[in-house]
Structure 1
């Protein structure tokens, strides 16, 4: 047996185990969502991005505080050089401790703090958007595996049924009731059904790999279709919810504020700045003296660079505002598309239910008529194929309906752990921010910061 056939055989065995084995606790969609949230490397990556944005606030805060520096200078010269000190040597050393503080900079530093805080809020919204994508991917992966299992089961039943049809055709051929053509038709359909079974097993194997990527592990026994979450009554209501709280829109709103603050900072750079300095110098000959100074600085001309920065910031404001309007439009479009997809899936599900009932009656009737000689083997095989197609279509429609429901929630910004009520501890984006936003020194608050870093690991 080839490695590919062994792989498909393993997938078939897994399907049988998942579908038919009674386990202590079958895996629900909620279990899959929780596992996806806990095991997502994408979420971990973007949480680190958020923590880096938190540190920007700390750096902006630090700019308002004194800067303390020290410098040690030492020099030595010997008498071998042709100089006034020929025949001797000289050395000197000094140590200097200085402190400087910006008293006024036109408001640039405080505007930088506000801009960094707004960037943190925008990054938090982006993290929430990533969370939605992770959970939606988990829903898709779960439903794909569930649909693939059902497809394998239908394909296996089809193989068994056509095998029975082939045996019946062979028995009837032995007694002269049908021709060799009927037997050949049954053999052909049996080969096709076996091919469909192999394809279904392959699709299940692919779905299992996608499940592992989205959830973090291979699926076990699945519990079946979950209960449908509550949804708004109309498209307008869904759009209103999305415009009010979708993470992409919130992120774009904060980006507009950041652009406005950056424009104000560009203007502040043209204003004067006042800096105070104090220092103590100690020399090797015992001399020691202190210095105190106050400096006023303002750039009068820099080749037009300051005005270029202001124009660039103004363009950034226009860009961010246009981006906000475009984001709102895209979110509204996504809500409309998700609502339409859900309506189509529901209609298809209702239609396939009717199709299955009709195809079941047609198949049973055709089979009985064939026993009486009023129908051919081909008629029976065609009726059985129509019934299989209807059942397969229902599996696809049911999967599409559930995915469309959760995609609609995501388009409204509601596909989150908190809104779904999964009942697990969630990542607190404020924990790390609260620990570093005041720019703590590691030597003073290191243990507290270490505890925060430990607490933001996998929940």
Structure 2
């Protein structure tokens, strides 16, 4: 134990958590969709503003010249400056504006789920990139070991040829297999470079020394359990449910738009004439009742269009439910098959190793040919490669099942990152704050923190 503590600790290596954290922090796709979510947040603010008074300040400078053609009265010139405030407030529209606000709120909730789905895609891309790097590293290692082994076999064949135990054909076979192994190793190294480049694209920085195979997430007990989790958590499904509610509110708002509306109007103005020192003040108010009677069929068309959009949204919901169930089933079966394939691959490696060791020993005694040894060596390499691929497939399938259940998120995985809070911006803008308010100043600080100002 004292020796273990005295030894220098190895440098930390990149693991799957590092890849997931890098992808979460550096993804441009996540930044794009967070900004799109803020657009929907602002639509709620715009709907709220429709229920508030609208005040406009105007300044008007005018001049008027009057020239009497028959000359009976002198010509005149009047220069005026008018300033005033005008107010307009919606008193009643059957609830159409309020329904638009509710529709906007449901759209915000749907967009949040879309953001979570994008987050799942980004994190799964990081998983694939990391696992692929491991796969290619293991493949290069196996090909390198195979090359060294074939070099030993070639030397042994040449030694046996010199003493007359084998023919020149055996030496040529060993040389051919060695040349093929060199070409395969070069190809594997190229695949590793490509995998490392894909890792940079997915994670945002190059990969260092890897920590080995990632731990697999906890598996569900059954396919039914996985489907039940997906129904409760998958962002595509939850988002489409909110989209249906938003479409229903939009349809109701379109119907209310066929009814009457009442608006309050008020204004105050002051006029100053520079030509005759005339000054005047005026105030006024009004209540306007309006009822659309005929608009060429546009109003009825808007209602039918909203109803059709709601029907289409419900159709998408049905398709989404089926797609989520299919994805869960496919991911679950793929994981089961990958796990079984890994077990089979382990047995194949054990058997191929025993066969190779035996045939190689028999070859030294003259009971086996060089071709037998080379074939056994190739069988062992194929078994080792299949095991590496099965291990990579199992890891990818495990996280694919997690994504299909809607659980491949930074929060569920417990990543050591600051989780993006979609409610922070929404809570600042949902009441449509004025530019000079304290809430607006808080919003400016948030925008500066986001790097948008």
Instruction: Give the corresponding residue for 1:44.
Output: 31
Separation (CA, whole Å) in 2 of partners of 1:199 and 1:83 = 102
Instruction: Give the corresponding residue for 2:386.
Output: 393
1:290 aligned counterpart, secondary structure = strand
List alignment gaps of at least 5 residues for structure 2.
1-8, 273-277
Instruction: Give the corresponding residue for 2:57.
Output: 70
Instruction: Give the corresponding residue for 1:383.
Output: 376
Structure 1 stretches of 4+ with a deviation exceeding 3 A read 77-88, 454-458
User: In the alignment, does 2:266 pair up with 1:278?
Assistant: yes
Instruction: Give the corresponding residue for 1:137.
Output: 125
Separation (CA, whole Å) in 1 of partners of 2:259 and 2:343 = 70
Q: Of 45, 58, 71, which aligns to 2:45?
A: 58
Separation (CA, whole Å) in 2 of partners of 1:30 and 1:382 = 40
User: In the alignment, does 2:115 pair up with 1:123?
Assistant: no
Separation (CA, whole Å) in 2 of partners of 1:199 and 1:279 = 80
Q: Of 294, 300, 313, which aligns to 1:301?
A: 294
User: In the alignment, does 2:413 pair up with 1:413?
Assistant: no
Q: Of 449, 456, 459, which aligns to 2:443?
A: 449
Superposition TM-score, scaled by structure 1 size: 0.92
Cα contact 1:239–1:335 (8 A) shared by 2: yes
Separation (CA, whole Å) in 2 of partners of 1:455 and 1:39 = 16
Separation (CA, whole Å) in 1 of partners of 2:62 and 2:370 = 107
1:83, CA displacement in angstroms?
Answer: 8.9
User: In the alignment, does 2:375 pair up with 1:357?
Assistant: no
User: In the alignment, does 2:139 pair up with 1:151?
Assistant: yes
Q: Of 312, 319, 326, which aligns to 1:333?
A: 326
Separation (CA, whole Å) in 2 of partners of 1:229 and 1:421 = 12
Instruction: Give the corresponding residue for 2:6.
Output: none
1:180, CA displacement in angstroms?
Answer: 1.1
Q: How many residues align?
A: 437
Separation (CA, whole Å) in 1 of partners of 2:118 and 2:148 = 45
- Superposition RMSD on alpha carbons, in Å? 1.7
1:455, CA displacement in angstroms?
Answer: 4.5
> Closer, same or farther in 2 for the Cα pair 1:93/1:354, shift >3 Å?
same
Separation (CA, whole Å) in 1 of partners of 2:280 and 2:327 = 75
Q: Of 231, 252, 258, which aligns to 1:243?
A: 231
1:205 aligned counterpart, secondary structure = helix
2:437 aligned counterpart, secondary structure = helix
Equivalent positions of 1:125-274 (< 5 A) are 125-274=113-262
Moved more, 123-132 or 419-428: 419-428
> Closer, same or farther in 2 for the Cα pair 1:80/1:291, shift >3 Å?
closer
List alignment gaps of at least 5 residues for structure 1.
1-21
